[in-house]
Structure 1
Amino acid sequence: MRPEPSVQPKRLVIVSDAWHPQVNGVVRTLTKLREQMEARGFEVTIISPADYRSAPCPTYPEIRLALTLPHAVKARIEALQPAFVHIATEGPLGIMARRACLRNSWRFTTSFHTRFPEYLRERLPVPLAWTYAFLRRFHNAAETCLVPTQSINDELSARGFKTLKVWTRGVDRKLFRPQPEVDLKLNRPIFLCVGRVAPEKNLEAFLTLELPGTKLVVGDGPSLPELKRKYPDAVFAGKKEGEELARYYAGSDVFVFPSRTDTFGLVLLEAIACGVPVAGYPVPGPKDVIGVSGAGVLSDDLNEAALGALAMGKVDPDDRLRSFSWEACADIFESALTEIVPSREAVARWIGRKRAVPARQPSDL
């Protein structure tokens, strides 16, 4: 009797310039995605700055930029012999991985996580049109570009991005959960903001609100010293993770999300999972999460939104988070994956390039 043939794992390479020890939405998404895909029988390799010598990114020192050469990244991917390649970011590694795929006429997918043009404009006078032109060229070479919300899908489509597909997010419901017994020992009501303390997060829009009780900021970043000096009445708890972070959510009354540039905002789901209503602006991210879940109030007047969310009281996560799960996130990702084998169009382009090269003449030898 012949033995059953062994099932070879489906090899998936994900290239990301954002990875541990960074703490942000991209890293959390890719970490959860890897868990989900491995449970589905994929052999997942993350190529990240952790694999190379790196240098701190200007203005973002906790973000490391890989110091390597394109041929090294190309050789690494080829050695892994993947069936699928996904490029998660548009940084140095992402650019080199994209180049390697195009050189090999491999199909690949990408994802759009960050409104990098708006972040860059906060720091340098770079026109949005220039940065979006680079991103459009980057992502339009992919078979599919995954985007976090329908609002971002519509914005990018209007800017000429092609082959877009909406890719939802999830939340760890075991960690982030209602905990009525939590007492943060601060004056109530407690208005909480969680995230990177940086200019693009628009924290001053929160800290200048006229609200009763306590304004609480959880997170770290380059703007922290200045904001602590300017707003001594607010409580700055610093960076928190895991169970301790979940307690800060559960012990608060309203979650305020002042950012106007996030593409999704995983912290929104974390707050809702803890039963906390959300206040934010009616912009992509909050509009897609709160608009779908109904777990908060959106207004161009953030003070009005915060007081409106307070009046709602605690929300029911089971009722509000039905459409958000890491399983659904992995389902969409898996459906978008495309084997690296060249498409007919890619083969035709490759043949066309070869034919365009003139044959070498004896005089050239």
Structure 2
Amino acid sequence: MRIVVVSDAWFPQVNGVVRTLDTLKAELERTGHQVVMVTPDLFRSVACPTYPEIRLALAPSAKLARLIEAAQPCAIHIATEGPLGWAARRFCRRRHLPFTSAYHTKFPEYVRARFGVPLGLSYRVMRRFHDASARVMVATRSIENELTARGFSRIGRWSRGVDTDLFRPRPECRGEHGPLAGLARPIFLSVGRVAVEKNIEAFLALDLPGSKVVVGDGPLADELKHRHPEAHFVGARFGEDLARHYAAADVFVFPSMTDTFGLVLLEALASGLPVAAYPVPGPLDVLTGSDAGILDTDLGKAARAALAISPEDCRAHAMGFSWAAATQQFLANLQPFDPVCSPDPAPHLTSMA
């Protein structure tokens, strides 16, 4: 199947959406599908206010239409609600083509935290965007329930997975040659963007023994380094380096209250790291029913209690999440339009200038 995926989030950004889409692309291609990514690097763009590393495509409609027409897709998936997402939505609506969309980020909570925009207004915009979608893909039951309560419809499940070969227990990382050697134990680790919506401040403010380590970068990094000199900020880490940092810690603390899933939860668990988090969507869906983490409104209490959890239980729980299964869910949610899948170009696409 030829699939066009439109996303306002793409490299060089590094976040859960980008990593999910990159892994999805690799899994789809591994199983014989063709994937064309339509992303901001293909357009003239400007920096997003307060997030300069995020690029927003300028007037993308005409070029986006040409890119989709050239791809001759069997199905179109719109991953984000930014300028490219809205342009792709218009393209599909004007040509009466079904498309699917995804709710990756609690965007209304994000803009409220950054700009004070009322939740009701933002959710009306989000609902309008996704109401045209044939299927709105969400990662967890909690998010499905939240969106249903806010009037969203045609919701389908698309879970997440973890690379258990890369993210695994590494006893050598806890020794004198490990990436966090010399830090007082226990080591409490947080991984993610250092930004207001990730609630990193809540982690840094905890009264915990040992050391706190933050892996990641973002707009609040300099401010939080100044306010919390006792914490260790090691910047963004990737691949093997990131995996080694997980394996070197004792507890993973996830302070976010706005994530729809939290890939880092699975990466930590696969590394044998117990999780401490608030009882909110994402952690609730990943951890409920397992012995791999502690959920509590008192995050410090959860972090201390997590020290008693067996690394083996964490690893075992993570092994239940596979990218192959998640990709099959994605494919099942797609809405192919058969005429475009024929060997001959589809007249209703190729005739459009």
Any conservation in 1 of the 2:270–2:319 contact (CA below 8 Å)?
no
Between the aligned residues of both structures, percent identity stands at 56
CA drift of 1:73 comes to 1.4
8 Å CA contact 1:114, 1:263 repeated in 2: yes
The answer on 1:330 being equivalent to 2:327 is yes
Match of 1:18 among 9, 19, 22: 9
Contact 2:43 / 2:60 at 8 angstroms: preserved in 1? no
Matched, 1:98 2:85: no
- Considering only CA atoms, is the larger Rg found in Structure 1 or Structure 2? 1
1:42-121 correspondence to structure 2 within 5 Å = 42-121=33-112
Q: How far 1:71 sits from its partner (Å)?
A: 2.5
Residue matched to 1:219: 216
1:173, distance to aligned residue in structure 2 (A)? 1.0
The RMSD of aligned alpha carbons is 1.2
State the shift of 1:22 in Å. Answer: 0.8
What amino acid maps onto 1:115 in structure 2? K
One-letter code aligned to 1:156: L
Q: Is the 8 A contact 1:253 1:313 kept in 2?
A: no
Are 1:239 and 2:236 an aligned pair? yes
Q: Is the 8 A contact 2:184 2:211 kept in 1?
A: yes
Q: Is the 8 A contact 2:190 2:253 kept in 1?
A: yes
Cα contact 1:277–1:315 (8 A) shared by 2:
no
* TM superposition shift of 1:54: 1.3
Q: How does 1:1-365 map to 2 (within 5 A)?
A: 10-183=1-174, 184-185=180-181, 186-340=183-337
How big is each residue's C-alpha offset from its partner over 1:318-347, in whole Å with a ceiling of 9 and x where there is no partner?
Answer: 5212431100110100111111359xxxxx
| SS of corresponding position for 2:307 | helix
Distance 1:176 1:312 in 2: 18
What TM-score, normalized by structure 2, do the two folds share?
Answer: 0.92
Shift of 1:39: 1.8
| 1:128-176 CA-partner distances (Å, limit 9, x unpaired) | 1111111111111111110011000000000000000121101111111
Helix, strand or coil: the match of 1:193?
A: strand
Q: How many correspondences in the alignment? A: 333
Contact in 2 for aligned 1:147/1:164 (Cα 8 Å): yes
Is the contact between residue 167 and residue 270 of structure 2 (CA under 8 Å) also seen in structure 1? Answer: yes
2:202 and 2:255 in contact (8 A); partners too: yes
* Maintained 8 Å contact 2:291/2:313: no
Q: What is the alpha-carbon distance in structure 1 between the residues aligned to residue 290 and residue 13 of structure 2?
A: 29
Distance 1:293 1:31, change over 3 A: farther
Contact 1:197 1:223 in 2 (8 A): yes
- CA distance in 2: counterparts of 1:58 and 1:216, whole angstroms: 28
Q: 1:111 to 1:297 in 2, by over 3 A?
A: same
- Counterpart of 1:126 in 2: which secondary structure? coil
- Residue number in structure 2 paired with 1:353: none
Contact 2:47 2:54 in 1 (8 A): yes
Deviation readout 1:10-33 (Å, 9 max, x if unpaired): 210000000111110001111111
Answer 1 or 2: higher relative contact order, Cα 8 Å, separation at least 6. 2
Do the aligned residues in 2 keep the contact of 1:145 with 1:165 (CA within 8 Å)? yes
Cα deviation 1:199-235 (Å, max 9, x = unaligned): 1111111111111100111110010111111111111
| Paired AA for residue 62 in structure 1 | E
Deviations 1:217-266 (A, max 9, x none): 11100101111111111111111111111111001000000011111100
Amino acid at match of 1:323: G
The amino acid of 2:307's aligned partner reads: L
Match of 1:309, as an amino acid? Answer: A
User: For structure 1, which segment, 34-43 or 212-221, has the greater mean C-alpha deviation from structure 2 after superposition?
Assistant: 34-43
| Pairwise CA distance, 1:301 | 0.5
Cα distance in 2 between the residues matched to 1:268 and 1:318 = 11
Q: Secondary structure, in 3 states, of the residue corresponding to 1:271?
A: helix
Structure 1 unaligned spans of 5+:
1-9, 343-365
Give 1:355's aligned residue. Answer: none
In 1, are the aligned partners of 2:272 and 2:315 still within 8 Å (CA)? no
Structure 2 counterpart SS, 1:138: helix
Aligned to 1:315, what secondary structure does the other structure show? Answer: helix
CA contact (8 A) 1:272 1:315 kept: no
Q: What is the CA deviation profile of residues 260-306 of structure 1, one whole-angstrom value per residue up to 9, with x for unaligned ones? A: 11111000000000000000000000111111443100000001100
Q: TM-score, normalised by structure 1?
A: 0.89
CA contact (8 A) 1:85 1:340 kept: no
